[in-house]
Structure 1
Amino acid sequence: MNLKNKTILITGGASGIGLEAAKQFLTLGNKVIITGRNLLKLEEAKKAYPELTIIQSDAANPQDAIALFQKVEYLGRIDILYNNVGVMSGPLNLGVASAKHFEAAENEININYLGVIQLNNLFIEMLNV
């Protein structure tokens, strides 16, 4: 697969694996858009790599996903959707169920699973063009 001169959207791109992927894609001559919930982290990434485009977005929020799609569509289109966003609440004590455990699990499902599915559904037509 040719990974040069593409437009790539990386969710969860402000730090960790997402930011490293963004750096690698930039070195290949790609246009890279990163998203994340934390505007400060996004701005820090932009300061370190001015060629990045940043968009604040929460993968667990369906309205944010739609707004992200609309912003990307306004910018043009993407060639690659790199679903990197993810959270892990940590180990759960299976012997002790609580509302806190349920909320943590629900948050993980909303971000790691449902958020990714929603973004795939929104961007699939753009990616097939």
Structure 2
Amino acid sequence: MKLSGNTVFITGGGSGIGRSLAEAFHKLGNKVIISGRRRASLEDVVAANPGMTAIELDVTDPASIEAAAARLIAEHPDLNVLINNAGIMLPDRAVGRIDDKVLVDTVTTNLIGPIRMSSALIEHLKGRDDAVIAYTSSVLGFVPMAVTAVYSATKAAIHSYALSQRFLLKDAGIRVLEIAPPWVRTDLMNSREAEEAMPLDAFIAETMAVLGTDVDEVLVEAAKTFRANVGPDEHALVNGFNEHASALFAGA
């Protein structure tokens, strides 16, 4: 994707990967708008990055998403990049009775929220040059971690959704990208001090370099072993299957 001259909206931009991506795009001369539920965190990011702006958004609330989309289109009509980054990661117990709040919160935040956000902006993005919809998934979408089974399942679902949306938008002028981080030092699962996790600044530097290429899946080196678990021919298989299905159902 083009790395400068964009107007970029990033959900979950108040901390972690979202904040660091926002700051990286900001430094490259993009207009950046971040969002999140915690006003104080957003204000801290904006104060540290003059020229960046922020809006409050709860991705679990359909009304909040619609209001944010309307405001973005009105105040930033040149918006051409959406990065669906907001997410939560909580341990669960697939071995026993799942806590229903953990289940619903995780699925709503990690899967339904990004789909709703993309849906709210997709018609606007179809009219923009160099339009991009990106999703932050995880290598756990390819190789699930059993103690976070629901989280891993939502990331697998986001990967699947991105594959479908990429196929459907291939002639609409919108690129659909998937950023699949490995274990990174963030606040998720108290990983900020984890020695085995990838330093956040190193992850962002490598990710931005890959984003500047023409790939659809943004993978740092540490993520590639996990991605290879699915097999190298997935895209050809998915595209071939959908071409065939489109022909079958064209007259339905």
Residue of structure 1 aligned with 2:102, choices 96, 104, 111: 104
Deviation at 1:80, TM superposition (A): 0.4
Aligned residue for 1:58, secondary structure, equals coil
Q: Is residue 57–residue 64 contact of structure 1 (8 Å, CA) maintained in 2?
A: yes
**For residues 111 and 27 of structure 1, what CA distance do their matches in structure 2 show?**
28
Is 1:93 matched up with 2:93?
yes
Aligned 1:66-85 pairs, distance under 5 A: 66-77=66-77, 78-85=79-86
CA displacement, residues 54-102 of structure 1 (integer Å, 9 cap, x when unaligned): 0001000000000100110111331100000100122x2334415xx11
Mapping of residues 116-127 of structure 1, within 5 Å: 116-127=114-125
Partner SS for 1:115: helix
Equivalent of residue 113 in structure 2, options 108, 112, 115: 115
Q: Note the 1:1-129 alignment, pairs <5 A.
A: 1-77=1-77, 78-90=79-91, 92-97=92-97, 101-129=99-127
| Matched AA of 2:88 | V
- Kept in 2, the 8 Å contact 1:89–1:105? The answer is no
- The Cα of 1:5 is off from its aligned counterpart by 1.0
Separation in structure 1 between the aligned mates of residue 6 and residue 38 of structure 2, nearest angstrom: 25
CA distance in 1, matches of 2:94, 2:120: 36
Mapped to 2, the partners of 1:93 and 1:80 lie a distance apart of 36
Mapped to 2, the partners of 1:76 and 1:45 lie a distance apart of 19
Max Rg structure: 2
Q: What per-residue deviation string (whole Å, max 9, x for no partner) do you get for residues 95-115 of structure 1?
A: 4415xx111110011110001
**1:102 corresponds to which letter in structure 2?**
D
C-alpha displacement of 1:50: 2.1
Q: Distance in 1 between matches of 2:42 and 2:95?
A: 38
Secondary structure of 2:54 counterpart? strand
Segments of 4+ moved more than 4 angstroms: none
How large is the RMSD of aligned CA atoms in angstroms? Answer: 1.1
Deviation at 1:3? Answer: 1.8
Tell me the TM-score normalized by structure 1.
0.93
CA positional deviation for 1:126: 1.2
Higher relative contact order (CA 8 A, sep 6+): 1
TM-score, scaled to structure 2: 0.48
Any idea what the Cα deviations from partners look like across 1:11-67, whole Å, max 9, x if unmatched?
A: 000110011101110111100000000111001111111211100010000000001
